Amino acid sequence: MSSNGFQVEHRYLELPQSFYTRVQPTPLKDAKMVCFNHRLAQDMGFHATNEADWAGIGGGTELLEGMDPVAMKYTGHQFGNYNPELGDGRGLLLWETLGPDGRRWDWHLKGAGLTPYSRFGDGRAVLRSTIREYLCSEAMNGLGIPTTRALFMVSAKDPIRRESIETAATLMRVAQSHIRFGHFEFAAHHEGPETVKNLLEHVIALHFPHLIKLEEQERHARWFEEVVERTAHLIADWQAVGFCHGVMNSDNMSIIGDTFDYGPFAFLDDFDAGYICNHTDQGGRYAYNRQPQAGFENCQYLANALLPIMGEETIRNGLQRYEAAYNGRFLQNMRDKLGLAQEDESDMSFVMDTFSMLNKHHTDYTAFFRALSSLYDHGYAPLRDLFVDREVVDKWLMRYKKRLEQETRTHEEREHQMRRINPKYILRNYLAQQVILEAQSGDYEPLKELISVLEQPYDEQPDFEKYAALPPDWGKHLNISCSS
């Protein structure tokens, strides 16, 4: 295939050579296209007239002219401990393309085979985890939350050994940047201040161009503040939709504030503030209610890497932005979910009391807020039916109605807006599990249908009501491992 029509760059290669190793993909046998994201391709500025043509790229047997695959080197803190051995252990950055709107897209092939950073792994990905990442990155995009994207995935016949023998697959993950907090930690711990500054200027030039004209000290300070604020806003957005990442290590934190690296993630079913979605997270370090703190700790790891070139006061001022940015965004998100346009100083305590109620009564998080968005259309029954003890929710509803007396919008206007904020469809783990089982049997249609539903999570979609149903008992609190 020719690369005609692409405006191609590979600016990552401008970084010092210690940041990467050139590696060719290890070919898969007889790779077949599973899913191709045509809408995303259009946004990126190209049309894939024949999906099958791209299977060779996904399977590692072909490269387009201009692709120069590299495994990125970075380090990072994993569950609080620094690990110098990290890097792209099963993924390769192929090139960067520029879309018609000027947006930059990194193309990163996950599951491409062994690299110098594979450690004890085989450099491969399996169908199960590849489907989960494809589904979740597109679900998050549908929800309006910054995320890496899935351009296409292929499967192949190569057997991959995990807990059992599984099918090989690869994902073409695309994003504006694949640079992580861990890149800065690598630069600081192993290369020195000059390299940290090089990396920082590289990131500003490509992803924060509005800061370029400022003088150096202010440019660096403003950049760090923005990174801290983007991280805080991202995690406030996760909390609002009940998303649990599961592996918030600093090497999984995007420098531009995208949701990055989908492993043992989950969306909450029955609300459980202390929910742990990753069964290897024994201490609950990354439990749902500890994600905001984990985000702040990752900003501290980044801050330590920047200290030699920024100075303590600048770093301290930047870190101080986190709490206000998180609290402000979280409260605004929850006001929007509750349909509160007028601000009241009691709103945060009302939000926390609501969370306490949902937690105590194990209420389905998504269903609660969606039912709340149609009280005047569908009545109180759908909301009350989520509670065994109706008296509890009736008491809460009285308080809610009293709070709504301060609002100036009509009920119709308010609830219309609430339905644009409170999704009807989320990627519940049991739904992912069902389409994975179908795909492993060779039927990819259920997967494609679920993707199309998750792309429009706020719409009613009457033909697909089954995807909005509460999970069966076997499908709640599924424990997912990192093994992919």
Q: What pLDDT score was predicted for residue 51?
A: 92
pLDDT at 378: 87
Which of 175, 183, 222, 178 minimizes the C-alpha distance to 301?
183
**Which run of H or E residues covers position 63?**
none
* Alpha-helical runs (H) found in 115-244: 127-142, 181-186, 193-207, 216-241
119: amino acid identity, one letter: R
CA–CA distance from 331 to each of 240, 301, 336 (Å)?
9, 26, 9
pLDDT of residue 49: 86
C-alpha–C-alpha distance, residues 230 and 257, integer Å: 5
pLDDT digits (tens, 9 = 90+) for 269-299: 999 999 999 999 989 999 999 999 999 999 9
Cβ neighbours for 124, distance < 8 A, ≥ 6 positions apart: 90, 111, 113, 158, 160, 168
**Parts of the chain with a pLDDT under 70:** 1-5, 479-484
Active site residues: 251
How much is the pLDDT for 481? 60
Give residue 274's pLDDT.
96
CA dihedral 446, 452, 455, 461 (to 10 degrees): -100
pLDDT for 483: 53
